[in-house]
Structure 1
Amino acid sequence: MKKISIVSIVVLCIILFGGCASEPNQEVNIIPQPQQVTVVDGGFYLSPKTVINVVKGADDLQPACTFMSTLVEKSFGKALTVENGEARKNAINIVVEPSMKTDAYDLTVEKNAVNIKGGSSKAVFYAMQSLRQMMPVGVEKGEKMDRIRIQNVQIQDEPRLGYRGTMLDVCRHFFTVDEVKTFIDMLALHKLSVFHWHLTDDQGWRIEIKKYPELTKIGSQRKQTVIGKNTGKYDGTPYGPYFFTQEEIKDVIQYAADRYITIIPEIELPGHALAALATYPELGCTGGPYEVCQMWGVFPEVFCPGNEKTFEFWEGVLDEVAELFPGEIIHIGGDECPRDAWKKCKKCQARMKQENMKEEGELQDYTVHRIEGYLKEKGKRIIGWDEILEGDVSKTAIVMSWRGKTGGIQGAKRGNEVVMVPNDYAYFDYYQSKDVDKEPFSIGGFVDVAKVYSLDPTEGLTAEEGKKIIGVQANLWAEYITTFSHAQYMLLPRMAALAEVAWTPQADREYSNFLNRAKLLTQRYEALGYNFAKHILQEAKSNE
């Protein structure tokens, strides 16, 4: 009797409620927050038999398909099969629809299939990152699974800003190719679109230039490195030679392209030049001798813009950089360039007289204009730190506003496109906790998750002027960041806040809600083996 009663109850449940064993809806927690999310009852079960089915593709769709195919490979023991055909059941059906906005996507998960429609292959990849965050974190570390439940949902999404970036400084301290690739993976997880690669500075020249091989023989190493801040002490240990060969750079570029990330290389000029001047002292105003810098700061030894050989050097370097990097934009620096040497330099003064200049600042303006014109002939645009606004910079130059928002506001009002990277919101080498005694030694400052999240990149601008703000970025300067593990610690979880600032409309952002989702995202960081500041979100929650 007892057995019959239990069976009867089960049958009755199935009849009345469609099955007592139906699973409850799961929360959809995605960073950055999509624009529209509608949770629907039920779920789709991804299994080894599920296929990635390209209904309507594009030439550059393969990396997105490969990403999703291999994401579950360790868990299932096999990669998902990729095929072409009409939309079908038990499939991730993909449509690239050029009539949509380039970065926009629709993601629909239903009982029998997952359907992705995107305005480009890049948009499809973004949809896959959202789908990834709806999967259990065990997928990231290859936990064995027979199937993966994904909550039924309808998502319509697109980014607020097209340029969503992070800069990595490899000059003060070097990071390997594998570490740079992991950094790119971190960008992809957060749907960031730009990797700004800081490749040259006073403390090291990190890119092979075949026309000038001495740059990496001499400029890629320094005799020693300063210890701490203002101590006057040095470690006595040679640092380097560390640099990326052009073949390594091509490999990294392809790795980023497979994740739909554009790399913007930065070649600093006319300041931050000591690594180059140590190699070719004739390019400085005094002729040297110079050394690759062993300390941090801003130094008076800069390139000589009065010397025509300096421009020949810059053009030779930029020829190879433009050939290597397929992206449209090259960063030329332009910041923190003392002009004292130019005042005493006969060649600089002769250039000023020849060009009818009244003060040395015009030499920098001349340099920026001339380099911009040279790169324009190669189909490239320049981006520079906000000091480039001190001259009559062309309207085609992009301004990177780092000294607060002022330069960005000024640039947007005069008609330049702008990337906001204000140091008081987006410098990730700053401390992220006020309890600095318990934090790794840093350059100073304080930018916590709440501060990053509070950034409104178009504040102070009209709606029309705000259209000139094309993006936001975080900077990770590496004076005091000696290991990649430390770099990850400084980036995470602040990168999640930056990603949401860049992606989600201002009116749709809510900090408390973000913190709840970010806490879940850190579980994915842990599964991926990323080092992150584990206590930061707890501090943020308690400070609300």
Structure 2
Amino acid sequence: MNLLPRPVSYVDGGRLCAYKGWETVLVDGPAGGYRLLSSDDGVLIEAHDAAGEMNALQTLRQLLGAQAFRAAGEKPAVIPACEIVDHPRFEWRGVMLDVARHFLPKREVLRYVELLSVHKLNVLHLHLTDDQGWRFECRRYPKLTEVGSWREDSRFGDRRSAGLKGRPHGGFYTQDDLREIVEYARQRHITVIPEIDIPGHSQAAIAAYPELGVHGGGVWTDWGVNERVLNTEESTADFYRNVFDELMDVFPSEIIGLGGDEAPGHDGELVRAIARHIVRGGRRPYGWDEILESGPLVEGTVVASWRGVEGGITAMRAGHDVVMCPEEHVYLDYRQSESLDEPIPVGTVTTLEDVYAWEPVPAELTGEEPGRLLGAQANIWTEHLDSARRVDYAAFPRLAAFAEVVWSPPEKDPGFVRRLAEHHLPRLDALGVEYRPLSGPHPWQRLPGVPGFPR
């Protein structure tokens, strides 16, 4: 449980104890789990592993109150006398952050790593390339960043009715930047999973190296599905083998993302070729559920089920591991209410309550499938989120609801919104997160006149 761990049994009627620090002992138990005991003698943490200790320390921080989340200032001196026994429900508790459509500076990615840790989330999936920008420094192919990392303009709002902003946009991460992000996350027991998207969503790469594409063209300034995809030449497969070699050198994660989504007219052979190359490198490929439609998957492939849960069910029944991230439940760029005040309203209405009500395990599963449900992931696409402030607005507090869903037992707490308002929003305030208020956006969070495309 993330916002107020449960079960909680208070010692001596819930009296307060002076906070004197903690002692940690490693014990047997579920991965990531812990027992926290607070008394006059101090705090004792019994943890299964180092991740369990980190989770316990985040709970301890919660118990100390919102002031404990400030970077400086007077710190709390008391803590409730209590015993808390807690562990995560799923091993994959993730967030996909799209830094390709709108680039987030390194400092903001590091901030999101910290926010994931606060919410006991443990996977950061970085969407590093798309039609609108290439964000990974590939030393063998420098034009990928020299040309592909910036675009001349950006659509402001939905492509069906919006104009252009009239200014360039760009940026990329050096390999040293990314190694820093990986290490910062590792210290917080968060795995960073990179994604280079192929064969679609590749216009930025084609702009840099036109021989990769079926058609030419510059870095895309529009949103949506682009019909310009990579060609099927062996030279293109060789190019991407070299790119993924550098990617795997920077990112030590077992799982490496290769996209595979929304590629009109492509037969999937390039995806299979790169998947085999990832496996030869000792890693596991990770792709969106469209990869199921182009023949048998390479052994070890993990499937992200985004077009509903059906793809994930099919993959598990075929023996593949799955991460559930269906757009109708956990796409956090989708609008948060029917109100006209919602900025750039796209997608279906996905309220805080909708996210909290979601159950990641489909009812159709029997528990006897040869593949595993690793967990779930919330996706933050940034076509319409052009700054860290806009990302905060879209992500929070819905990401707090998602974090509780993937940590806690499936039973829902009717007091969730009350607990959020009373206990967790003050923590977000202390952290400086510019979340959407429960009553609707602040005046400065609205974008009147910028068209969206609500469904």
TM superposition score normalised by structure 1: 0.77
Provide the C-alpha distance between the structure 2 equivalents of 1:380 and 1:417, rounded to a whole number of angstroms: 14
Report if the CA contact (8 A) 1:368-1:393 is conserved: no
Alignment RMSD: 1.8
Match for residue 120 of structure 2 among 175, 186, 191: 191
Q: Which residue of 2 aligns with 1:377?
A: 280
- What do residues 366-408 of structure 1 show as CA deviations (whole Å, max 9, x unaligned)? 3233212211121110111001111211342111000011111
Match for residue 166 of structure 2 among 231, 236, 257: 236
Q: Does 1:172 align with 2:111?
A: no
Q: Does 1:471 align with 2:401?
A: no
Provide the C-alpha distance between the structure 2 equivalents of 1:395 and 1:281, rounded to a whole number of angstroms: 32
Report if the CA contact (8 A) 2:132-2:221 is conserved: yes
Question: Residue 144 of structure 2 aligns to a residue in which SS?
Answer: helix
- What do residues 268-298 of structure 1 show as CA deviations (whole Å, max 9, x unaligned)? 0111110000011111124x2x110000011
Report if the CA contact (8 A) 1:457-1:469 is conserved: no
Question: Residue 248 of structure 2 aligns to a residue in which SS?
Answer: helix
Provide the C-alpha distance between the structure 2 equivalents of 1:443 and 1:330, rounded to a whole number of angstroms: 29
Question: Residue 506 of structure 1 aligns to a residue in which SS?
Answer: coil
- What do residues 454-495 of structure 1 show as CA deviations (whole Å, max 9, x unaligned)? 211112211333972111111111111111011011111101
Q: Which residue of 2 aligns with 1:521?
A: 424
Q: Does 1:282 align with 2:211?
A: yes
- What do residues 116-165 of structure 1 show as CA deviations (whole Å, max 9, x unaligned)? 111111110000011111012122223325x5111111111111100001
Q: Which residue of 2 aligns with 1:61?
A: none
Provide the C-alpha distance between the structure 2 equivalents of 1:332 and 1:375, rounded to a whole number of angstroms: 9
- Structure 1 stretches of 5 or more lacking a match? 1-29, 51-90, 340-359, 539-544
Higher relative contact order (CA 8 A, sep 6+): 2
Deviation of the 1:537 alpha carbon: 8.8
Match for residue 221 of structure 2 among 294, 302, 308: 294
TM superposition score normalised by structure 2: 0.92
Q: How does 1:437-456 map to 2 (within 5 A)?
A: 437-456=340-359
Q: Which residue of 1 aligns with 2:397?
A: 493
Deviation of the 1:411 alpha carbon: 1.4
Q: Which residue of 1 aligns with 2:184?
A: 255
Provide the C-alpha distance between the structure 1 equivalents of 2:256 and 2:405, rounded to a whole number of angstroms: 24
Provide the C-alpha distance between the structure 2 equivalents of 1:487 and 1:319, rounded to a whole number of angstroms: 31
Select the structure of larger CA radius of gyration: 1
Q: Does 1:314 align with 2:240?
A: yes
- Rate the CA distance shift 1:536–1:129 in 2: closer, same or farther, 3 A: farther
Provide the C-alpha distance between the structure 2 equivalents of 1:132 and 1:250, rounded to a whole number of angstroms: 28
- Structure 2 stretches of 5 or more lacking a match? 442-455
Report if the CA contact (8 A) 1:515-1:537 is conserved: no
Q: How does 1:398-417 map to 2 (within 5 A)?
A: 398-417=302-321
2:169 partner amino acid: Y
- What do residues 299-350 of structure 1 show as CA deviations (whole Å, max 9, x unaligned)? 1111112x111011111110011010111011100000011xxxxxxxxxxx
Question: Residue 266 of structure 1 aligns to a residue in which SS?
Answer: strand
Structure whose residues are more often helix by fraction = 1
Deviation of the 1:506 alpha carbon: 0.6
1:506 partner amino acid: P
Q: How many residues align?
A: 434
Provide the C-alpha distance between the structure 1 equivalents of 2:44 and 2:370, rounded to a whole number of angstroms: 34
Identity %: 38
Q: Which residue of 2 aligns with 1:481?
A: 385
Provide the C-alpha distance between the structure 2 equivalents of 1:467 and 1:171, rounded to a whole number of angstroms: 31
Moved more, 376-385 or 37-46: 37-46
Question: Residue 447 of structure 1 aligns to a residue in which SS?
Answer: coil
1:228 partner amino acid: G
